[in-house]
Amino acid sequence: MSQQEEWKDVVPIPQDDGKNPVCPIAYTDEYREMTDYFRAVMASGEVSQRALKLSGRVIDANAAHYTAWVYRKKLVLDLGVDISEELAWVAEISGRHIKNYQLWHHREALLELLLDPKQVALEPQDQRMRNPDIRRELQFIDRVIDQDSKNFHAWSHRQWVVRAYGLWDQEMAFVDTQINQDVRNNSAWNQRYFALTRNQAADAFVLTKEAADAEIAYVIDKIKLAPNNESPWSYILGLLLRHAPAMLYEDLLPSINALASDKNGALAVVSTPFYWSALVDIYEKQAEVLDAEQRDAVKGLAREACESLAEQYDPVRAKYWKYRKQELTAQ
């Protein structure tokens, strides 16, 4: 940059690591010079196309440089950069920095500038889904998830988009597609919980008997495909425990016991630690609402399940299951 006429008027500001830095970072000469000039641009508060271009170069060289992202947003606003063009730039560099926090945060901020969530919320949902900017954003997320179906950043951003613009009606269908593609995709199972509960706390969302039965049936079908897959077990236990605890033992327990008794799938189901672990959790919760005699009987079943886990189905965590058994005895 020091050899370019465009930058002759700028005096670079070197990074100040002090007199005797203990462990100086080994920057390349190119990166060191680039950031020296960028510091000078920020120090002077310069708002220009060359500053915008330089911020892009710094970010592409080090996407974790959050100060560069902050200054770039200022430049975008002050220069009146077309937000759609800036989103396209983010999409272009995302292939090289797809799991960078700052990239996704910048994209979220841009989308809010382009589409004010409060204004969009006034529109009918079908109209929101036809909005080309919203459709483009969902398509961008879809592409990222197709490349890496467990990309935490993409799923988190999708949740923000769905929540901010009220796109709840289409989300369960999307999640169902993802789970059908990969029943072990824990991110998709997490998104199913998010979509069903609309991200509400337990006391703000009531799971109806009809909805609980539908989710239990859905989960049982997925467990049949891969009994040793933890995701559906965790999903249904967490869902019912938070939003319909009585259905754990009234509806889920008979369903998983029927599955365990099925001649075609019984061996696979009862040999997984998740079946026995589910029994411990369900029996423990059921004991809370029973009288003394029934409670002791149910706790006995829970302790037997702990023994099975410690001795046969999950010996790696034997100490944990012995601890759970002791807790059940002490209660």
Closest CA to 222 of 211, 235, 212, 207: 235
Q: Is residue 99 among the annotated active site residues? A: yes
Matching residue, tokens 């004991």: 287
Burial classification of residue 157, based on how many CB atoms lie within 10 Å of its CB (0-12 exposed, 13-18 middle, 19 or more buried): buried
CA distance linking residue 2 with residue 33, whole number of Å: 8
List the beta strands (DSSP E) in the chain: none
Distances (CA, A) of 141 to 26, 161, 275: 35, 10, 34
Tell whether the torsion through CA atoms of 288, 289, 292 and 298 is positive or negative: negative
- The full length of the chain comes to 331
Q: Pick from 201, 172, 205: which is nearest to 189 by CA?
A: 172
Residues 245/246/250/255 CA torsion (nearest 10 deg): -10
Token pair, residue 7, equals 């930058």
CA distance 292 to 302: 15
SS3 for 181-209, per residue? HCCCCHHHHHHHHHHHHCCCCHHHCCCCH
List the catalytic residue out of 99, 118, 209, 325. 99
Active site residues: 99
